[in-house]
Structure 1
């Protein structure tokens, strides 16, 4: 499986790219970092580099998504969505590999 970006999340990524005048060479890099209250934190950023030796590249709804192979071990099957309500908005991660997650959903334990 892979990391999946929903159509709503892809629309938000495209809006952000357009708003910040990012070129077509920019990809959305999704990964993990040590830290957070549960052990690992999710990372999302834009990057203009891709190395097929250490990265895997996907296309979801017209958005190029890159995941490094180390992060892919923890993110396999994860769905990234966009959530918006009156009190908050942002990307959410539905990770089937997470044994435990923090209350805010920004970190997890595998």
Structure 2
């Protein structure tokens, strides 16, 4: 299985990379944090690491480190606007529970 981006998320990332003037894609990962155990991390990629797993979704390259992959397998990253707020939404089938604030999760 792969990690994918919705059409809206891919457009948002592509637009940001264009405005930024550099970058080849988006890196997704997890880190230990928060009250539920893990939190997502996102960063723009300028260079590929040899261990990266690389997926392409809606024209955007997605990079995942091998340690994060078991937690992200099958996830879709979406981008949503709700009123005045906008941001990424993590549609992750592996999540068993998440904290009330939505910042961390466990599998």
TM-score, length basis structure 1: 0.89
Task: Write out per-residue CA displacement over residues 8-41 of structure 1, whole angstroms, 9 at most, x where no aligned residue.
Answer: 1000001111111124xx2210000110221100
Instruction: Give the C-alpha shift of residue 103 in structure 1.
Output: 2.7
- Structure 1 match to 2:9: 9
- Selected match of 1:93 from 80, 90, 93: 90
- Structure 1 match to 2:44: 46
The runs of at least 4 aligned residues of structure 1 exceeding 6 Å deviation read none
- SS of the aligned residue for 2:67 comes to helix
TM-score, length basis structure 2: 0.91
Instruction: Give the C-alpha shift of residue 49 in structure 1.
Output: 2.3
5+ residue gaps, structure 1? none
- Structure 2 match to 1:109: 106
Contact 1:8/1:82 (8 A) holds in 2: yes
Which shows bigger deviation, 97-106 or 57-66?
Answer: 97-106
CA RMSD of aligned residues (A): 1.3
Instruction: Give the C-alpha shift of residue 81 in structure 1.
Output: 0.1
Contact 1:92/1:105 (8 A) holds in 2: no
1:60, 1:94 → 2: CA distance?
15
- Structure 1 match to 2:61: 64
Instruction: Give the C-alpha shift of residue 88 in structure 1.
Output: 1.3
Instruction: Give the C-alpha shift of residue 78 in structure 1.
Output: 0.8
Task: Write out per-residue CA displacement over residues 39-75 of structure 1, whole angstroms, 9 at most, x where no aligned residue.
Answer: 10001101222234x2110111111110011100110
Instruction: Give the C-alpha shift of residue 102 in structure 1.
Output: 2.0
